Structure 1
Amino acid sequence: MWGVLQKRPLHRIIVDERERPSGVPDELRSLGAFIEFRVLDVADYVVGSYAVERKSVRDFVSSLYSGRLFDQAHRMGEAYGTSMLVVEGDLWEELRRVRNSRSLWGALISSVLDFGLNMFFTPDGKQTAQFLFTLGKGGRHTKGSGGPPIVVRKPRSQDLKRLQLSVLSSLPGIGPQMAGQLLGYFGSLRKVFSASMTEIAVGAGLGRSRALAVTKLLDSRYKASRTVIPQASLSQE
């Protein structure tokens, strides 16, 4: 009798404070999830041992070109066992506005194969919430219930080449292809970081604007801000 009346346990999902206005947390609550807001230094949602970043399709395309996505993928992979990206919106409509779709697809392929980022696409916030809730329940791609989720991903082998590309891809305007171009010309990370703006712009062929952004970042003095508590242990709570 008690087994019939007893409520099913709520699925706990940790949500970054900046996601409050998105409407996704409200949708998750309506599905029966227990929402806990925190300030997260990486990812927008923590579902069990999974880190999930949510992006609008426009922000997704922009972050691919700027190289910002690769830095986020690397940091999520370091903090959690599995990192995921949910892209919200109409990707095909956004692709019509892109001038060079080939470079976009190259960056997309690299983010999956080189950085081990699992990607999912949803049309709107409601479906994003459905995805997160199903993930929290231990969703599977096969029929049946119970058991842990099955995630097929590339083993996180931290080889030297991948780490070198990851470091350079975190710089403004530098994607995997440009990172490879820099390493091919200079030969090492130390030589890249020691190069002048002219060497980066002309020698490596990055152009003045990209070279200026890179050297400005490298030369700018660090200004300390308030410390954010690491979140690596969230998935173990």
Structure 2
Amino acid sequence: MSDYPPFPHDDSFPVQELLVVDYKLLKEGDEEQANILWEAATKFGRLDPSLKNHEADDFVEPMFKMGRETLALPFEEKMKYWQGNKGGSCGYKAAGATYVDADGSTDISEFINVSKDDAMAYPSIAQRVYPPTVNEFMTGTIRPFIQTCVAENRVLLDVFNDKLGLPKGTLADLHDHTKRCLSESRCIKVPAAPKDTKIALGRHTDVGSISYLTNRLGGLQVQLPGNGGEWKYVKASVSTPHS
């Protein structure tokens, strides 16, 4: 964590504590961990646990390295891989591409999104091409990172499947990773900004069933039911992603 600024230790700083699920025990079928996961998904009206003892940690820093190298490319070079404005997501998203409030303010973040299908198919092309800085990491980092996330999400889905009383494998069959879909990995870059320019990415709910978020810098905010509409920060963690 030494390469990242410390999370503020100020009692006036609004922080949202999250339930913590031990992924290793969950994978082994521990019922207590399954209950914690279910509570996170139902009590708070959204799934927002932290996972510890997960299996993707070895790929997180290499993923960030890929993101840093790619988003440090000249703007003209990055725009060769622009995601476009036809509804597609994979590729490069420039800062200022989306609105973040009713006043018309735009976001200040850049993305590089790599399609799950492209990572699995590489060196074949499933959806689009990517910068050389992405391709360099495709087989050794991006593909195994996505494969690990898919496997961990499958464990979570199986828990939900059982808690919902669905026939075994129902949710897994609806999330067949061998089929083409919109799943992707994403690296986000947010430059230092004046204090009155705080919003890097507007408030939103994620598309899809489960998002696997690695939070290093602590800028993530969540709004939970029953807290009067207050946005609270989630503490950064070296090895605990949020799902």
Larger Rg: 1
TM-score bin (small chain)? under 0.3
Q: What TM-score does the superposition give when structure 2 sets the normalisation length?
A: 0.24
Instruction: Indicate the structure whose relative CO is greater, using CA pairs within 8 Å and at least 6 residues apart.
Output: 2
Q: What TM-score does the superposition give when structure 1 sets the normalisation length?
A: 0.24
Greater helix share, structure number: 1
